[in-house]
Structures are given as C-alpha cells and as structure tokens.
Amino acid sequence: MGTNGYADRVIQRLRGKKLKITPQRIAILHYLEGNTAHPSAEQIYREVSRAFPTISLATVYNTLDTLERLGELQVVAIDPARKRYDPDTRPHHHAMCTECRTIQDVHTDYGGTIALPDGLRERLQVASVTVHFSGLCRSCSPVTI
C-alpha cells in the first residue's frame, strides 16, 4: 500500500500509550496504510500471515480493536456479512456494491442536507452523520451505468 505516514504515526501513538510494538502489529499497520479496499479482519489476516505464518486471527482482531479504541481506524458497518475496516478516520461516507461487496469512499458532506424529523430534532443534538449507499457497481450492473 502507499506510504502516507499512517504506520509511523500509529506506532508513535502506541509507544506513547506504552502498548506493545510487535512485528505482527507493524505488519498490520503497513497493510492498512493507504489501503482503500476496506478489508475485513479475515482479509487482513490472510495477507499478513504470508509474512507471519504464526500470526493468529485473534491477534489481528485484538490489534484492530486497539486501533479502533485509539481512533486510528474506523469500523465500516455497511457489509452485513462482516465488519470492514478503514484507516481513513476523516469524516466520510461509504458506498458498497451489493454483488461484489466492493466498498468505496464518498467524500461529500451531507450533514446540512439531511433533515431530522421534528420530534427527533427536539430530542437529539446531532454530532455526526453517516451515509451508506448500496447498489450495483459498473462491473456488476447488467445495464451500462
């Protein structure tokens, strides 16, 4: 994946929190760095286990949980089959093809254009808005988009 400083920044943050910096964690961070494919834990495990055959799926899950807790990773809950992970923690939305399960980032601010019903607006101060789109991508669509 591309180099955007993600792995180095997170390693420094882990050190600052006195958390272990293991070769397996570093490999997971490097796999996530610049990764826009929104991989599942199982996909991350498959890729990282090529270099670290003794890594366990539990290690991958524990690392992902730690990164999520630190705010260095967001869970993308658009795929009903499994959690997907995104190292891009900037506010953004997602679109998923319901056929091939490819997820794409959507960097558009919908916060001001989505209106809450009056009753809910009175009971909730909105802190963030997340939009998930689903449909067929160009490759999976029987009709040319």
Domain extents for the chain?
6-86, 93-135
Residue bearing the bigger pLDDT, 122 or 87:
87
pLDDT tens digit sequence for 77-95: 998 889 999 999 999 999 9
CATH code for 6-86? Answer: 1.10.10.10
Q: Which of 33, 82, 25, 35 is nearest to 58 (CA)?
A: 25
144: confidence class by pLDDT, cuts 50, 70, 90:
low
The pLDDT of residue 143 is: 76
pLDDT tens digit sequence for 39-52: 999 999 999 999 99
